[in-house]
Structure 1
Amino acid sequence: MSLARFVPLAAVLCIAAPAVAQPVKPFSLAALKAAQARGQSVLIDVYAPWCPICRAQAPTIDAMATDPAYAKLQILRLDYDHQTAEKKALGVSRQSTLIAFQGAKETGRVVGITDPAQIRELAINALR
């Protein structure tokens, strides 16, 4: 068989591949503003490594980052202990805060929830 028979199939497979979710990225105001300017959905995870609620939220958020259903969601993790100016700009006073945006519009904000269904619902509202 000639290699030419396989090339079109390879091209189709590449084009038809499902969208791949994006990894959780470090938060920066520049990254948030860029995503908002593109009209992208964003979930901000205000995380502190010493916070038991943050650690309970993390598996759900990390799973969403690799789930193709959330491929259009940009997840940004804000370091609660070191990003003081960024917390102030977002009006965040507590760790374990999750903030969802659709473009520049805030679509939801919760503090201290660990229920995976509620976290996913917050993200889905940003994707609508």
Structure 2
Amino acid sequence: MKKLLSLFAAIAALFALTPVAAAPAWTSYSDESFARAQNAGKTIIVDVHADWCPTCRAQQPILNELRADKRLKDVVFIKVDFDSDKGFLRANRIPRQSTIVVFKGKKETARSIAETNRKRLRSVVLGAI
């Protein structure tokens, strides 16, 4: 039993030393950060979010799960504030919060509005990258 516990402790120590890839962070929207990502030809996932929006809150665990997906490690995640980033909303014809938009460079490749079903939201985003 003591050997088994020692083995488990050794395995746990190895996992503790193994670096975990960090999920890409959310970047707050600015004209400059968005244009820089577009001009670099990056894939960009935009979350049009409002703190007061229950649908936005329901989307967050799904979006955070997507951020941790290894296939999206080079994607830029930008959070647009529905209440204050009105220029972005007008330029991209976004009438409401809880809208997720995927861009490849300057081209919009997908849009999802108010989707809270995990499978469907993941499908839209992953299908657009």
Fold shared per TM-score above 0.5: yes
Aligned residue in 2 for 1:58? 60
1:49-88 mapped onto 2 (5 Å cutoff): 49-88=51-90
TM-score (norm 1): 0.77
Alignment gaps of 5+ in structure 2: 1-18
Larger Rg computed on CA atoms: 2
Aligned residue in 2 for 1:110? 112
Consecutive aligned runs of 4 or more in structure 1 exceeding 6 Å deviation:
none
1:28-67 mapped onto 2 (5 Å cutoff): 28-67=30-69
Alignment gaps of 5+ in structure 1: 1-16
2: CA distance between counterparts of 1:47 and 1:116?
17
TM-score (norm 2): 0.77
Measured against aligned partners, the alpha-carbon deviations of 1:45-82 in whole angstroms (never above 9, x if no partner) come to: 00011111000001111222233221021110100111
- The share of aligned pairs that are identical, in percent, is 31
Retained in 2: the 8 A contact 1:20–1:68? no
Aligned residue in 2 for 1:5? none
Distance change in 2, residues 1:19/1:103 (3 Å): farther
